[in-house]
Chain A
């Protein structure tokens, strides 16, 4: 009689991802190592790094959006896990104002501008290997089709006759300048994409960036004389749900919003169910990898003169599991008082574990925090880093 073998589970829990961290003084990588984490870096020490991302399609190409202090912005590339870096031969740059430029300031679009910050990196659609997008300050959109080596402006946006009006040219925007961020590519269709502008709002294209329309109806702009404008809003972070791309969420300067794009174009404010003492202002918004009803935010103090710190110095994540009808506080493990940091818009991420979702964020005070149980408890993975601008998740291919 054959010996019965014990059934073995074929399901293997995915290993936690590497955390790619962009800071005011360079990039870092925090890698899972045994039961702990191992820090690598700094990469390009001294270079202000607003974004650092791995291409999920090849599992190899790293891009770093850098603003090198005195030398202006550029893009660095690595194909060996950050051991060596090469500068992109043609970093993003706006078009010159030349003899062939349209007459009139409005018609020129972004011609004549100079990139001050390379801010938000986004890998293109899975069917378009080598394609990347980049958002900048001033608010421009750029595309690379050769793995980030050379960059061209997406002229449907940058040279749009409405560009100056859409991005409120001449306003100061955020403290570092107005930024184009939250570039979202519809996983069903490479031609469908959105961008968000910190001085302007959210814009949608159905033709890979050739034409654009604002999608801001229902969002408050309480800092403008007319709060019901078509554009001029201040999205802080906008996400298209990976499993249900018609479900959009937005953390805005004026609250938390949800939109079912297949049902219309009017956003619904879902942050009003947040506790009044906390409010619904923050920078990041993070989505569950599968459940379109589950969302995490990291509120900050947006009262009076906008200190942009944890409300009352008590940091907390808030989660909804019903699309924003109710919110629960998740603060176990965080300091209970005197913690005046916050989390910037691309510095918080969720991994792909649908049951015990890993959540990770970096703070303005240089700390990295993680929850490996969907936010129920938190622990500090690292401290003493420079101010953290971005935290992205990566799975390298061997």
Chain B
């Protein structure tokens, strides 16, 4: 099972006690988010909706590539970036 460094956008710091760099384990992105949810309750539902779809204004990069879904595999030592889209008005 891979352990990844997860960089979290400031909009989510309310759920991470202000931390911007987290650590989580999982073979794929869904497992990583489950692991994050155990440590930071409420965080995952802000990133994916109840159908496990990444929310429209959230972008997740795994090892520099944008993830299209939660089945994205996590390579050993990968960095994950969870970002907010700069949209709105």
Give residues in A with beta carbon < 8 Å to B: 68-72, 74, 87, 89, 91, 93-97, 112-115
Give residues in B with beta carbon < 8 Å to A: 11-12, 41-42, 45-46, 49-53, 55, 57-58, 84-85, 87-88
Given known A-B contacts A96-B50, A96-B51, A70 and B84 have beta carbons under 8 A apart: yes
**The one of A70, A89, A91, A115 that contacts B88, using a Cβ cutoff of 8 Å:** A70
For the complex of A and B, the 5 pairs showing the least CB-CB separation, nearest first, are A93-B50, A70-B57, A114-B49, A71-B46, A70-B84
A70, B11: Cβ atoms under 8 Å? yes
Minimal Cβ-Cβ distance residue in A for B58? A70
B42, A70: Cβ atoms under 8 Å? no
B11, A71: Cβ atoms under 8 Å? yes
A69, B57: Cβ atoms under 8 Å? yes
**The one of B49, B53, B87 that contacts A70, using a Cβ cutoff of 8 Å:** B87
Given known A-B contacts A89-B42, A94-B50, A69 and B55 have beta carbons under 8 A apart: no
Choose among B50, B53, B58 the residue with the greatest number of A CB atoms under 10 Å from its CB: B50
| Chain B: minimal CB distance from A79 (Å) | 18
Give chain A's interface secondary structure class.
loop
Complex Cα–Cα for A96 and B46 (A) = 17
Q: Which residues does chain B contribute within 8 Å of A68, judged by CB atoms?
A: 46
B46, A72: Cβ atoms under 8 Å? yes
Complex Cα–Cα for A210 and B61 (A) = 44
Complex Cα–Cα for A114 and B54 (A) = 11
A97, B55: Cβ atoms under 8 Å? no
A69, B88: Cβ atoms under 8 Å? yes
A115, B57: Cβ atoms under 8 Å? no
Q: Which residues does chain B contribute within 8 Å of A97, judged by CB atoms?
A: 51
B55, A72: Cβ atoms under 8 Å? yes
